[in-house]
Amino acid sequence: MGLLRDLLTDLPDGDVVEVRIGLHWTAVVIEVEGKQRCGLSSTLESPHEHGGEPQVPQAGLLKTLAGRELAALALDNQPTLASVGVASLNALLPLPETFSEINAEHVLANYGADKRVAIVGHFPFIPRLRSASQNSSCSNMIHGKATCLRKLLHRFYPDPMSSLSREWRWLTTHLKDS
């Protein structure tokens, strides 16, 4: 959380234009210095409980917050709001001075050589990177997808006896790093 707090203190502010929470992705558009920027994050959700708190307690009001206020939701314990916060943070991050179009597989192969690289999610190039790393000196190049997911689970569901207890226990015992 220290990294998030550090990022939040240095972000510029902006006017929130749009907040979209989808099944898999959350997008936030913020206008910063006259330009619109879109930030994305994965949509995390809480277990569904009838009669409980709404998943997005401020639904319909998120656009009224300032960009930095929305980004501060990245620290929220409610997963869907944290998703909105991370998407906002991504929209507010400074843009690089120059851009170049390059394939993510090539970036990971070049910059990840002889290093540990964690990739969360499924990408079609992972088997090629894994086999390339096994043929070189960096046998641990692709590492930790399950570990990262376990850390996320522990952050949002620290209690294995929570309402997700069965799923939580299954995931944390069956996930293997590959």
Distance CA(74)–CA(68), nearest Å, equals 10
Name residues whose C-beta falls within 8 Å of residue 93's C-beta, 6 or more positions apart in sequence: 7, 11, 39
Higher pLDDT residue, 22 or 56? 22
Intervals of CATH 3.30.390.100 along the chain? 2-92
Sign of torsion, CA 63 64 67 70?
Answer: negative
Higher pLDDT residue, 73 or 2? 73
pLDDT band at 159 (very low <50, low <70, confident <90, very high): low
pLDDT band at 166 (very low <50, low <70, confident <90, very high): low
Output the pLDDT for position 68: 95
Best CATH choice for the domain 2-92 from the list 3.40.640.10, 3.10.100.10, 3.30.390.100, 3.30.1160.10: 3.30.390.100
**How many of the other CB atoms lie within 10 Å of CB of 118?**
12
